[in-house]
Structure 1
Amino acid sequence: MNLSLYAAIERIGLGLAVTLEFLGPLAVALATTRSKGSMSCAAIAGAGVVAITQPEASTDYAGIGLALIAASSWGAYILLNRTVGNRIPGVQGTATATGVSAALFLPIGLTIFITQRPDAAAVLCAVAAGLLASVVPYIADLVALRSVPAHIFGVLMSINPVFAAAIGAIALNEELGAVEWAGIVLIVGANAFALRLRR
């Protein structure tokens, strides 16, 4: 999930990549409600995707595809994390999953070390990113999903694309036009409405 998201961010920017990634949780929310309202949410989200990607000849389809892989991974993560949280006490399940992920990532990491020879600062940044982008939020999610209703958790998570777009604009000088912001609002709104339907 993170690897494909980071690759997408490099190609299409933080705000758009995170917004597309958010289609994963939205798909999970829509899959649990089979109603006319959920179909409306899917249509609204689809309009949002078209707005932020603006398909044309120069569109970075590889970046969009990577963000959609991250979205699929996030949807699977939500379902698997809920199951693990219900079956395994404490954070042992998350610790095991993190270890498995690290083992799967090992060939990529070794390739990077052999071909690019990162310095100590880059290694420290990678370790910090691993802790702050994986271990800490995964444990926080696991604990939150045990004590906070899923619909409230989902509504709170729906703010992520707005934060990502704002941080991208402020810290990374990524410019988003009115159409892209409208697309972000449509996807976030579709998620919030889908969660209300689910409740």
Structure 2
Amino acid sequence: MRPRAAGRRFAGVATMVGSGLCNQTGAALGSLAFPVIGPVGVVAVRQYVAAAVLLAVGRPRLRALTWYQWRPVMALTAVFATMNLSLYSAIDRVGLGLAVTLEFLGPLTVALAASRRRTDLCCAVAAGAGVVVLMRPQPSADYVGMGLGLLAAVCWASYILLNRTVGRRVPGAQGSAAAAALSAVLFLPVGVVLAAHRPPTAGALGYAVAAGVLSSAVPYLADLVTLRRVPAPAFGLFMSVNPVLAAVVGWLGLGQGLDRTEWSAIGAIVAANAVAVLARPAPPAPQARSPRPAADS
């Protein structure tokens, strides 16, 4: 059983790495369509792709949902749309690495908010220092772009909290699928207007679709596989590396270089999350049960 368990763990790690690279590569490819259809157009296409994937996987019974279930789903819809729009607008202004780093403050804040440990307080201070360094006053600083990155962070934190509520009220992935479908419906008029006034080229449309597949479909399906093979702390630890992956992809794929100070700030934010994940206390061990019959072993 040990070789089999090790193989499953290796497969989970490989899936995490592939998912992270796909996610950031998709965002980079989507940015190549900005000159033609803009961030709004790319987000609209991404919403269509995400809705198609989640509807196929979640298969929500929309007519069976009650108003009690629809309320958090509608809130999740607004957050889902705003999060992607603010992130892609931030990428357009400040680059992939800085935008994803600022957005990552959302889940980090959620992870640290409920804790009272000194370690987490130190992590919060380190992350805050990283943000101050990233947003330090400079003649060329784009504060609108940074503000959009922070808005994406607020949306991601809200997305996490709302997902918990939706998960309790709506079975399976039906809630997320319903939210993605509503978000796609909201962006349909946007797509029509853009197609009329800024007709997309085949290349721009291809980049936008690739962004939707690589940044929405692949990560979602990969996470379903990963969480069955990798412990939750290891999954959370790897998620903290996404800002570094984004900075590397932006540097290699888009020529968006960062200076040493910006790399140090990104490193501080990533390290804060890594320490917060690793320092979490282990869940209590389950109570001992009576041995099962030999036939079950």
TM range (shorter): 0.7 to 0.9
Tell me the CA shift for residue 133 of structure 1.
1.5
Structure 1 residue 7 and structure 2 residue 89: aligned? Answer: yes
Report the Cα distance in structure 1 between the residues aligned to 2:116 and 2:224, rounded to whole angstroms.
26
Shift of 1:53: 2.5
Q: Show the counterpart of 1:29.
A: 111
- Aligned-residue offset at 1:141: 3.5
Aligned residue number for residue 194 of structure 2: 112
Whichever residue aligns with residue 14 of structure 1, its letter is L
Answer yes or no: is 1:66 the counterpart of 2:148: yes
Report matched runs for 1:82-97 at 5 Å. Answer: 82-85=164-167, 88-97=170-179
Superposed, 1:30-179 pairs within 5 Å as 30-85=112-167, 88-141=170-223, 144=226, 148-179=230-261
Structure 1 pair 122–58 and aligned structure 2 pair: CA distance change class (3 A): closer
Is the CA contact 1:23–1:71 (under 8 Å) kept in the aligned structure 2?
A: yes
Paired AA for residue 182 in structure 1: S
SS of the aligned residue for 2:90 comes to helix
The two structures have a TM-score, normalised by structure 2, of 0.60
Range with bigger deviation, 41-50 or 96-105:
96-105
SS at match of 2:191: helix
Give TM-score scaled by structure 1 length.
Answer: 0.87
Answer yes or no: is the 8 Å Cα contact 1:33–1:198 preserved in 2.
no
Q: How far 1:87 sits from its partner (Å)?
A: 5.4
Cα distance in 2 for residues equivalent to 1:188 and 1:22: 9
Aligned partners of 1:149 and 1:33: how far apart in 2?
Answer: 21
Cα displacement (A) at 1:66: 0.8
Whether 2:277 is the aligned partner of 1:195: answer: yes
Q: In the TM superposition, what is the alpha-carbon distance from 1:107 to its structure 2 partner?
A: 3.2
* 1:117-146: CA deviation from partner (whole Å, max 9, x where unpaired): 113332333223222222332343456557
Deviations 1:158-179 (A, max 9, x none): 0101111111111111121111
Q: Which structure would you say has the larger Rg?
A: 2
Offset of residue 112 of structure 1: 1.8
Distance 1:89 1:2 in 2: 25
Structure 1 residue runs without a partner (length 5+)? none
Q: CA RMSD in A?
A: 2.3
Aligned residues: 199
Measured after TM superposition, the shift of residue 4 of structure 1 is 1.2
Q: 1:98 to 1:142 in 2, by over 3 A?
A: farther
Of 8-17 and 149-158, more deviation after overlay is shown by 149-158
Cα distance change, pair 142–101 in 1 and its aligned pair in 2 (3 A): farther
Identity %: 57
Distance 2:195 2:233 in 1: 42
Name the amino acid aligned to 1:58: S
